[in-house]
A and B are shown apart, each in its own frame.
Chain A
């Protein structure tokens, strides 16, 4: 933070530094230097004092020397000429018989001149000097990554891996990793691995973590060797230090990817230490442990079943821990604990923090997919509190629940009565509108609720609500025409004549023209599916193989997912994406493929697909087109697959999310009536790689164009609104 009067301060400091009276008094001299460092860390530019500070370097006072080196290290790059002046002192310091002095000689970045002291440092008698010298080489390499590091130095570093001092060993490992980055890091062979494993116990926590990480690259030569290593590591697997435990588990998973039984046993073994970390006194550690537990649960859903009480939230815990714990709790539900768990979650629904309350409500919704009666009872009870954020979350949760479990719809329809009064935010109102549209004939007050919305459309700010309102009004018109006709007319009139937003206006125009085509046609378009039970299966994901997440274990990855997930909760759940899709797509069907239709049958086997894909070009029409949907690779493959299936496009294979380049292979058949009686079938194969490559047989341009427009509209719907 640059503060005013910085220049004055620097001038004053310079005067003090060059004052002979100050220089002769060590205490005053040191205090002045202290002031320089203090202003440096506050962000004042004190680089002008470089030459004065260089002089201060020549002293016997170690404290002063250290302070000056802190200064020199930060500014040497700006003043290469002046830095040369330091070299002499530096060299002298490095030769000092007292190990304390060279130890503190942090080498400023002056490449040409430090090599010699560094080489000497590697052979120093005192371990602390060797430690610094080793990392000095790493720094040197980082400053000039292009210059070749002398092979003899690398050899010397390799030989120092056998040093008696554990920190020297670990530093060597770290330095070699950096210097040999281009070649893939330190060469890990059998003797080195065994040596490191034997010395592991002597190292401190940080050293152990680094060694365990490097050893991940080792491939044991035989099963016997593998099991020797594993049994050697068993003690650190249950280490009370969470970092060591996590690093060991990660190593276990890397060493035996082909032995699922061993990895599973290892996961069972770390259950205790992980649970202990979840109850640790420091909240950050608790949070990290929770994130990792979630990762484990993806493969072993039953791992923590008996310990569900450990994941109950404390009153004073921060929101991020509570939300994580709830996500874990949802995974742990079974017949025995469901009552207790729901009771607990119910308590969280009235949390002071609105985000936590919403997370609790949606957690209840998730459990509702398997225990719908109990959960619906709680959810309806919550509506009675008449709190806007709670009601909104409940309505959204109900929408998501109904989409997956249609059997809940009766209860939901009853519960919806009268909750529009407490709803404030757009997300909640959108959910309510969707429910009214789909189950309009069962909610007796639906037209009255809708009328309130339509009367207020002028002052409506949210685009999403307006779009949803149009669709709902249309749907309700189809099932209760007498009560809705008048207000639908008013709404369409307003949206076409007065609305300024293009999306809303276009949608309204589309519906208006659709109505011209007759009521039957309209019904065909608007009557999308009310629910998709198959999604329940998709979302209640099966146990994943461990290898799927093994590489991200013990990195930042599991912690980052949190951010993504909480965002998606506020934006709308995955089902919502698909429900929107069905609405939009029913529209696009009118535009593009009214004459043609897609079908995934007859099915194509992967081998056949590959054969056809690689077949000679002339049989197929080839088409490449760029699609601009940067965010698509971030949406989950499940929702993409579900969306494609909705449109009768079969996805055959896709890369895991976040992998680059991200690609999807898909195919479909188009049925296309050319003339009255001949039915042509064409096969379309596609590869999606941020650009679409399509192959078609036989040629049919119109069908191809139709397909392409459907595909792009799917991709755009899947792209989050914000992008």
Chain B
């Protein structure tokens, strides 16, 4: 259980402090600030022990969130809780920044009151929390509304209200993926994985039942056993193996376990349907080929080629290649065929930006870096990192169908307007040089 929660700004000033249990004294707030935030050396561990009290902290931009406890608790749970707390706050007021925390002071206290009681996590689902959190202040409700709350709080479906009505039934589905890569200078993939999210926005009336299908390998293989061999050959190639996935609480897990079908009654508005991770057969949208040559002690020649590796009809956007330079760089000459490149002395890097790039293309940059002679340490050669955005899912995930059934109201699956979009972004996409 959690004894207390503190939120600090980067200077260590307390923005929020909520103590749940009496064993956490008032000096605990200061102990963490003095020992961790103001400590001279780098953070040694996300868990700090001060006077038999454990402080678990996470940082979001320049805000420190710390959970305090005196018990020997389950560390994974406390961290998971802090992440959830961040998610909930982000759902209410967007980015967690000092200004936002200060402006939503009351809201955060309300949330903390709701999410934890006596240090035990209670209710952390944004949708269900909305009933309890009264930012505008609910005066007094009619009998009908009261009954509704009771049914929602006690009932099976905590994430959706009854009686939602829309004139246009719409459904937005985004497949957002971030592809992570670590590649050796020789072009060998050291590690690669995609972590993806299926984010939905639903504006549907009533209590609809949805069914979501994708090219999951297990499902497709199962279907192929029954179906014709021709079909199997076609779709077998395009199925993907998902390493692990998590779902929003609305998804019926028992059905997923038995049939691997994803069916659910969606919450209203924004929510994240599932999260998944894949490591096999990842389409790496870009390859970076670095070539670094040291010419004497005061000159460095760098040539970097990037190749786009996807269908030529697609366009990648917001491409940025960051080539680190040594600390003793005195001047840089750059030649690039496409986009704009600039040497940023403050960041010790050459930043090469390309607005758009089609698939199956190649582009290169060459740089001559002049160095000041020093006796400093050998340059550690940090990896070349890359950012981009592509309009497909690097894991190969495809949405096969998304069906909506609402037996009580008279609208059917094809009355619903559905929008599907794929966005692949770079996570940590690094090539060593």
Residue ranges of A at the interface with B (Cβ–Cβ < 8 Å): 1, 30, 34, 37-38, 41-43, 60-64, 66-67, 70, 74, 97-100, 103-104, 106, 125-128, 131-132, 135, 138-139, 142-143, 164-165, 167, 170-171, 174, 201, 204-206, 209-210, 213, 235, 238, 240-243, 246-247, 272-273, 276-277, 279, 281-285, 287-289, 291, 309-310, 312, 314-316, 318-320, 347, 350-353, 385, 387, 554-557, 559-560, 562-563, 566
Contacts and interface: CB of A to CB of B under 8 A. Distances in A.
Contacts of A350: 377-378, 380
A38 B249 CA distance: 35
A282 B83 contact: yes
B209 interface: no
Q: Which 9 A-B pairs have the closest CB atoms?
A: A206-B121, A243-B77, A240-B246, A63-B137, A284-B46, A243-B76, A127-B154, A135-B118, A242-B76
Interface residue SS majority, chain A? helix
Interface of B: 1, 13-17, 19, 21-22, 29, 42-47, 49, 54, 56, 58, 72-77, 79-83, 105-106, 109-110, 113, 117-118, 120-125, 132, 134-135, 137-141, 146, 149-150, 153-154, 182, 190-191, 193, 195, 243-246, 249, 253-254, 257, 275, 277, 377-378, 380, 382-383, 427-428, 430, 432
A309 B190 contact: yes
A229 to B, nearest CB: 18
A99 B150 contact: yes
A243 B45 contact: no
Given A205-B80, A285-B80, 4 more contacts: A100-B149, A312-B190, A315-B383, A352-B380
A104 B253 CA distance: 32
Contact of A41 (B17, B122, B150): B17
B43 A206 contact: no
A34 B121 CA distance: 25
Contacts of A132: 117
Contact of A385 (B193, B249, B377, B430): B377
A61 B137 contact: yes
A209 B137 contact: no
A315 B45 contact: no
Given A1-B14, A240-B244, A246 B74 contact: yes
Nearest to B245: A240
Nearest to A238: B244
A164 B153 CA distance: 11
B45 A559 contact: yes
A126 B140 CA distance: 17
Given A135-B120, A240-B244, A563 B44 contact: yes
A142 B44 contact: no
Contacts of A243: 74, 76-77, 80
Contacts of A61: 137, 139
A287 B49 CA distance: 16
A201 B255 CA distance: 13
Given A276-B243, A318-B43, A350-B377, A206 B109 contact: no
Given A282-B58, A288-B75, A316-B428, A272 B190 contact: no
Contact of A319 (B42, B249, B382): B42
A556 B141 contact: no
B77 A235 contact: no
B424 to A, nearest CB: 16
A103 B383 CA distance: 54
A242 B44 contact: no
Nearest to B86: A282
B109 A67 contact: yes
A320 B48 CA distance: 12
A249 B156 CA distance: 29
A126 B244 contact: no
Contact of A241 (B125, B149, B246): B246
7 contacts: A135-B120, A170-B120, A204-B121, A243-B80, A282-B83, A314-B430, A385-B377
A288 B80 CA distance: 11
A416 to B, nearest CB: 21
Nearest to A131: B122
Nearest to B146: A98
Given A240-B246, A559-B47, A288 B150 contact: no
B67 to A, nearest CB: 11
Contacts of B109: 37, 66-67, 70
B378 A312 contact: no
B74 A213 contact: yes
Nearest to A352: B380
Contacts of A272: 243-244
Contact of A282 (B79, B121, B153): B79
B76 A99 contact: no
Contact of B182 (A171, A240, A312): A312
